[in-house]
Each structure stands twice: as C-alpha cells, then as structure tokens.
C-alpha cells in the first residue's frame, strides 16, 4: 500500500477519498413532501393552438368597379415588408400577436348566388351583381357567417357609424337582417350564432349590452340607433371597446370565431392614435374585421355627401372619405374654371383597409360616391401599400423622390389655392383697372405658392428613376406636369393683366361690357416659359401613355384639355337698368353696377343661412 501511495499522484489519492465518502451517501434516502408545481398561465397565449402561429399570405380577392366591389387588402403590398430579415424583437412580436388562422374550407356558394361570380373570379365581376348595393353586401356576409359557423360557433358584432350621412344605409341593413338569418336557417347554419350591435360617433353605444340570438332584437337595436351630430367617427375607439367587451366571450364553452362588421361611409377620425394598437389586439384575441364602406376619394381627404334638407333643398357637404394611402402623393390642385376633380380610388381608406387585411377580413366597397370608376383588373397594379406607417415612413425618408413628392402633396392639404378671376367687367376703363388690380393680389400669392412647391418637388428629380412602383411613378410625373402647367398659366396670366391694365383694349362689338381670359395655345411670356410649357405637355402625355385606364390618366387628360396660354375674349353681361340706354354717364353706370352687386351678395348670403349639419 505504501508502494501504491508513492506511485499515485496527489489528484488520484484525492479522487479515491472523495468517492469513498460520496458512494455511501448516495444510498441515504430522505423522503419529503413535494409542493406541486405552480402553473403560470399567460392569458396572452391562452387557448391558442400551435397551428395559429403559422403565417399565411392570403390570396387577393378583388372586387368590382360598381356599387359593391370587394378588395382584400391582404395583398402582397399589404402583407410584405420586403425581403429584409426580421429582428429578434419583431419575431417576438409575431409570436405574441399571432396571425389569424385561415378558414380551412371555402364557402359553399350556390352557382346561382348573386355573389358566385365575385368569389369565383380573380378579376372584376359583372355590373349586374354590383348594382345590388347593400343587398349584395349582405349576401356576402350571409355566406361568410355560414362558413364561420361550419367551422365553430360564432359571435358577430355589427358596428354602425351613427353619423347622419349613414341613416339610409343603416335602415337598409336593418331591413335585410331578417332575410340574412332566414337564409342561414335554410342553409342549416343558424345554430351557434350570437350577435351584438354597437353604434359609434363621438362615443360608443352598446345597443345590445349582451349578445343575442333573436333577429328581432337585432333589428330593433339597429333601428334604435340615435344619429350622432358631433361630426366625429371614432371607429377605432369603438372597436377597441368591443374587443375588450367580448374578447373572452363564453370561453368556458370552447373556442369561438369572432367577426366584426363595421358599416360606415367615412375613414374614421382616430386612426392615427388607435390603428396599430387595435390591430394588435384584434389579432391577439382572434377577431376578424370586415368593413362595408365607401370607396376612398382618389388622392383626396374629402368626398361630398348630398345632404337633403326638409324642404327638399340639396347641398353637397364635405365628409372625410380618404385618401386611400397612408401618405399623400396627389397634389390638391384645382382646374381653373372647374375646381377639383373627384374620382373613386377603387380602394377603401388606408386605415380601415389595413385593419381588414391584417385581421383576415375584407373591405367591401358598397358605394363609390357616384364618381367615375376604374377597372380593378387595371387598378390592382396600383394598389396602395398597406404596411405599417412606420415602415412606409422609413422608406419615404430614404428615397428623395418619394420624400419630395409627399412633402409637396402634404403642403397642398394645408394651403388653399386661390382660383384666379377670369371675368372682368369693363363698363369703363377705370372699372376694368380696379377689377384687374383686385385680381392681381391673390395671383401673386398663388404664383409664390406654386413656385415654392415646384422647387420642393424638383429636389427629388434625380431620384425619379429609382421609383419602381407604378403608383409612385404615375404620381410623381403627374405632380411635376401639373405644377409646370400651373407655373406657365400664372406667368401668362400676370402678364396679360399687366398689359390690359396699362393699355385697355377697345371693344370691337357694340354692347360688349366685359373681358374674359380664355385658354390659348399661344404662349407669349418668353422662351423659358414656352419651354416649361412643352415640358409640362410631355410629362402629362407620358402619364396618359404609361398609365391608361387609371385616375392618373384621367387627371392628365383634364390638365391637357386646357391650354396653358391666354387670350382676351370680349363679351356682354346683363345689368338691370341699362337696357338700350345710351344716355348714361360713368357715374350712373357705376351706381347701377353697385346695386347689381349688392343684389347678388344678398342672394348669396340668403343661401348661406342654412345650418350645415356635421356629418
């Protein structure tokens, strides 16, 4: 043993001693009461099966060019953020806020159904279906609800915009409710369906505090909605309240499908504050959001609603219906002599359309505001980008052409463009000079305004060729073409007024008493302005050639329809008291004209006395 201890190193001796101690201890067993494991339950992930975390890119479902078209904004532009790699924080967010599980089987729609062509066709459907309006929309929801019920029991929350402009549509939908539920019964898909009704304006009202199953209760709830005259539509606050109210609806009975149908004709006033939070919450608690709304007004914030007073008088009142994009890219420039040109964007407003795309729903265009429509087969290439605002903003800031266009377009939303006077009374040279002097003041302001916008857009010109998206290319070329045309018109207008003021032209016809500026192909303001006029024509013609069948083409045609030069045209207007009078001196003429002006002002003021409702 002494010999062995001398041969072993020190670590070997230490190992043997430790093993001799540990091996006996291994066989000593001490029994103790073990506390049960505490189950940590996170409501964020509760009852969410594994398959719900799979990411699904939905196929486009494109609607029509009529009264009821359907656009599924879960298109490639809406759902992708390019090929960039996701960060760990983004992947965590994707896990915490899962995508909705897609409906596994298609809706079983009879071939004679009015929406069969809509579902089966990848392109635009027929005009016959779209003329169905609200009825056609309700047919779509009937089959969507039936499909949901085949999968599992379903809660449907109807959210109605309570604004005055939606009175007729709410009544039409209430009339269709009984028919919808009768169709569901005929399809054997009524059991397991619960329904709730809400209304919103400045505040949200739960018309059915608890979900109901009786269709008569739903009809009564819709008919009892009190119109909201605040002029505010806080749709995202209302949706947030509804989700909070019903996020755990009858969870003890198992899983439920939850659908929200928003019925509105405006974009909502609280999108900037509430959109992304509501999207995350809707995805977290598995709410599919649908919208039955109006088409956005192409490139503009406001559309017009024909409000009818009790005496039958109709007045167009502005309502917030657009634009279809998150950032402005269409300049709000008037057409001299005809004001703004309003057209259907063929898509819904950005925020509501993004909401439906992110939650697996659909934006149904039930009204195009009676404006010119465009073929969705063409417009699909120009679909707005429905990615988050923060992503779009980063891309815009990184591209000088996009940044210049957005900043220029945004300026037209803030500043109002004064329309120059084209008609000048000329009962005397002094009167003509006075009217010209009054007309020159706002034009000087307009010229400064246009020059500033042109310089701003010009900053992004070198990056114009970097624009890959058809929508951005069309918008940039149209903006530059229109600004150049406006510059040429304003320069020529100022020159024509200055010449007439310094040396009034004599009339060639007896009885003429006014001068009118009319568009002309001749540009008499120097070679530099003539060159700008030619450049404007080339850009506008390129928009027409490159983007046929689109709103950009329509605006370019409208702009080119008016020449950028000017010429004088004499005329005559009627003044009471001056019929066949040749004995009037200038003072008498002035007094008659002043009286006629006062009469017109009184007439205008009387028309403005009507109270304008807040829609």
* HEC assignment per residue over 401-441: HHHHHHHHHHHHHHCCCCCCCCEEECCCHHHHHHHHHHHHH
Strands (DSSP E) along 132-192, which ranges? 154-161
DSSP tag of 346: S
Can you tell me which residue has the tokens 């409501």? Answer: 43
Fold adopted by 51-83+91-296+344-398: Rossmann fold (3.40.50)
CA distance 190 to 174: 18
For the whole model, what pTM was predicted?
0.73
CA distance 222 to 169: 11
576, 589 Cβ separation under 8 angstroms? no
Integer angstrom CA distances of residue 504 from 259, 426, 432, 473, 586:
70, 9, 8, 45, 16
Contacts of 77 (CB under 8 A, 6+ apart): 383, 384, 385, 386, 387
Q: Is 421 exposed, middle or buried (0-12, 13-18, 19+ CB in 10 A)?
A: middle
Count of positions (residues) in the chain: 615
Encoding tokens for residue 232?
């505010």
Q: Kind and range of the H or E element at 569?
A: strand 565-571
Name residue 139's beta-bridge partners: none
What is the crossing angle of helices 429-458 and 586-608, to 10°? 50
Beta pairing, strands 514-520 & 423-425:
antiparallel
- Collapsing DSSP to helix, strand or coil, 338 comes out as coil
Integer angstrom CA distances of residue 146 from 91, 122, 410:
34, 22, 44
DSSP tag of 54: S
Closest to 519 (Cα-Cα) out of 482, 486, 554, 489: 489
Encoding tokens for residue 240?
């947030």
Q: Which residues of the chain have pLDDT under 70?
A: 1-13, 15, 18-20, 22-132, 189-190, 337-340, 369-371, 414-416, 573-609, 613, 615
Torsion-angle region of 331 (φ positive above 0: left; ψ -120 to 50: alpha; else: beta): beta
Integer angstrom CA distances of residue 352 from 93, 193, 272, 283, 360:
22, 25, 11, 15, 12
CA distance 134 to 176: 9
The pLDDT score that the predictor gives to residue 367 is: 77
282, 239 Cβ separation under 8 angstroms? yes
CA distance 295 to 396: 25
The pLDDT score that the predictor gives to residue 555 is: 94
540, 488 Cβ separation under 8 angstroms? no
63, 348 Cβ separation under 8 angstroms? no
72, 353 Cβ separation under 8 angstroms? no
303, 293 Cβ separation under 8 angstroms? no
The pLDDT score that the predictor gives to residue 444 is: 85
Contacts of 353 (CB under 8 A, 6+ apart): 71, 73, 78, 291, 324, 347, 363, 384, 386
The pLDDT score that the predictor gives to residue 600 is: 59
pLDDT digits (tens, 9 = 90+) for 475-521: 999 999 999 999 999 998 998 999 999 999 988 888 788 899 988 88
The pLDDT score that the predictor gives to residue 303 is: 72
Beta pairing, strands 363-367 & 69-71:
antiparallel
DSSP tag of 272: H
Integer angstrom CA distances of residue 458 from 400, 454, 517:
10, 6, 30
pLDDT digits (tens, 9 = 90+) for 157-214: 999 999 888 888 888 888 888 888 888 877 776 688 999 999 999 999 999 999 998 8
- Collapsing DSSP to helix, strand or coil, 294 comes out as strand
φ and ψ at residue 598, rounded to 5 degrees: -65, -35
CA distance 22 to 31: 19
The pLDDT score that the predictor gives to residue 6 is: 53
Annotated domain spans of the chain? 51-83+91-296+344-398, 400-573
């Amino acid at each position: 043993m002494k010999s062995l201890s001398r041969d072993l190193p020190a670590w070997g001796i230490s190992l043997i001693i430790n093993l001799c101690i540990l091996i006996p201890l291994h066989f000593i067993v001490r029994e103790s009461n073990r506390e049960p494991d505490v189950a940590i339950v996170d409501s964020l992930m509760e009852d969410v099966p594994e398959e719900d975390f799979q990411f699904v890119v939905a196929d486009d479902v494109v609607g029509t060019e009529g009264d009821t078209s359907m656009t599924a904004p879960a298109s490639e532009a809406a759902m992708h953020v390019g090929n960039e790699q996701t960060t760990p924080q983004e992947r965590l967010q994707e896990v915490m806020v899962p995508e909705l599980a897609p409906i596994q089987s298609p809706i079983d729609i009879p071939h004679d159904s009015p929406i069969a062509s809509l579902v089966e066709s990848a392109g635009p459907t027929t005009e016959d279906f779209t003329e169905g309006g609200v009825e056609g929309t309700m047919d779509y929801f009937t089959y969507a609800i039936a499909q949901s019920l085949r999968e599992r029991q379903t809660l449907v929350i109807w959210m109605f915009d309570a604004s005055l402009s939606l009175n007729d549509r709410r009544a039409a939908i209430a009339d269709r409710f009984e028919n919808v539920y009768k169709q569901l019964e005929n399809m054997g898909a009524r059991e397991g369906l619960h329904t709730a009704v809400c209304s919103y304006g400045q505040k949200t009202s739960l018309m059915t505090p608890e979900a109901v199953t009786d269709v008569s209760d739903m009809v009564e709830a819709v008919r009892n909605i009190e119109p909201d005259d605040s002029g505010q539509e806080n749709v995202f606050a209302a949706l947030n309240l509804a989700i909070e109210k019903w996020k755990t609806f009858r969870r003890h009975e198992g899983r439920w499908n939850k659908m929200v149908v928003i019925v509105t004709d405006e974009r909502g006033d609280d999108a900037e504050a509430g959109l992304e939070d509501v999207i995350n919450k809707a995805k977290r608690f598995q709410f599919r959001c649908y919208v039955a709304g109006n088409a956005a007004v192409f490139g503009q914030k406001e559309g017009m609603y024909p409000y009818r007073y009790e005496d039958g008088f109709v007045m167009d009142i502005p309502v917030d219906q657009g634009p279809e994009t998150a950032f402005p890219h269409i300049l709000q420039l008037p057409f001299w002599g005809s004001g703004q040109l309003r057209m259907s964007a063929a898509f819904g407003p950005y925020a509501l359309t993004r909401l439906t795309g992110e939650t697996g729903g659909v934006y149904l265009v039930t009204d195009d505001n009676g404006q010119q429509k465009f073929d969705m087969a063409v417009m699909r290439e120009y679909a707005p980008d429905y990615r988050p605002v923060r992503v779009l903003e980063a891309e815009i800031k990184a591209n000088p052409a996009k940044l210049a266009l957005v900043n220029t377009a945004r300026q037209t939303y803030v500043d109002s463009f004064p329309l120059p006077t084209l008609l000048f009374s000329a009962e005397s040279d002094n009167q003509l000079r006075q009217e010209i002097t009054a007309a020159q003041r706002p034009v000087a302001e307009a010229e400064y305004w246009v020059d500033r916008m042109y310089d701003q857009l010009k900053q992004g010109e070198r990056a114009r060729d970097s624009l890959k998206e058809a929508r951005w290319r069309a918008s940039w070329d149209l903006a530059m073409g229109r600004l150049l045309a406006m510059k040429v018109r304003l320069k020529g207008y100022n020159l024509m007024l200055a010449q007439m003021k310094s040396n009034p032209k004599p009339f060639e016809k007896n009885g003429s008493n006014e001068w009118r500026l009319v568009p002309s192909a001749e540009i008499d303001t120097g070679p530099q302005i003539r060159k700008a006029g030619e450049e404007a024509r080339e850009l506008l013609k390129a928009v027409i050639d490159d983007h046929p069948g689109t709103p950009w083409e329509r605006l370019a045609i409208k702009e080119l329809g008016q020449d950028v030069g000017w010429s004088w045209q004499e005329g005559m207007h009627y003044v009471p008291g001056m019929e066949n009078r040749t004995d009037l001196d200038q003072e008498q003429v002035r007094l008659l004209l002043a009286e006629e002006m006062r009469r017109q002002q009184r007439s205008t003021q009387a028309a403005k006395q009507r109270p304008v409702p807040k829609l």
